Amino acid sequence: MASVLAGCGNQTAKTTTGSADYKIGVVTPTLSTSEDEFRAADMMAKKYPQIVKHITLPENFSTEIETGISQITSLADDPKMKAIIVISGQAGLLPALQKVEEKRPDIIMMTAPIWDDPVLMSKYVDVNLDTDWVKRGETIARKAHSMGAKTLIHYSFPTHLAKEVIAQRKDMMEKNLCGIGR
């Protein structure tokens, strides 16, 4: 998010007394759900009030997905909106990205991270600031082994393992541990 605003530095200087000719939407969870993301976006919105529009996803996101989708999609109603950055760490937002793309294909979409299918996301997201979760299964196992670890525990919950990439990461860890010795 900072790099997007930094890249617009000269334009920002011109807008301190007037209104900007573009806007950036930033979508985060609420303060109680994800403090770091919320505070960073809130600070940017306060520093650049004519440019940054910060919205939060519903507190009970899993039961109010449609509200979250509607909120994100509504950002595309502003003709000055040029980019939307979604920082949620949740799944279920792909329909919002699809709707924004249909409505306003000129808007740059960025995510950091969201838990929807990466292959489908790649059709609607211009920049995804995320890690390769499956590859991490290999690198974590190999790095732990090279550091002398004799046991590696993948501590998780059924809700996490329901996310395909987390389940694949766990499987990749097991596969690599078998290859290097448990």
pLDDT of residue 181: 54
Provide the b/e sequence for 139-159 (b: ≥16 CB within 10 Å). Answer: ebbeebbeeeeeeeebeeeee
pLDDT of residue 70: 96
Can you give the pLDDT of all 182 residues of the chain as single tens digits?
A: 544 444 454 444 444 446 789 999 999 999 998 899 999 999 999 999 999 999 999 999 889 999 999 999 999 999 999 999 999 878 889 999 999 999 999 999 999 887 787 788 889 999 988 778 888 889 998 999 899 988 888 888 887 788 788 889 999 998 887 766 54
Tell the burial category of 81 from Cβ atoms under 10 Å away from its Cβ (0-12, 13-18, 19+). Answer: buried
pLDDT of residue 180: 67
| pTM listed for this prediction | 0.73
State the DSSP string of the chain: -HHHHHHTHHHHHHTSSS--S-EEEEEE--TTT-HHHHHHHHHHHHHSTTTEEEEE--TTGGG-HHHHHHHHHHHTTSTTEEEEEE----S--HHHHHHHHHH-TTSEEEES---S-HHHHTTT-SEE----HHHHHHHHHHHHHHTT-S-------HHHHTSHHHHHHHHHHHHHHHHH--
CA 177 to chain centre: 30
pLDDT of residue 179: 67
Q: Tokens 């998010």 belong to which residue?
A: 1
pLDDT of residue 182: 47
pLDDT of residue 58: 95
All domains of the chain, ordered by start, with CATH?
A: 21-128 (3.40.50.11400), 133-180 (no CATH)
pLDDT of residue 166: 85
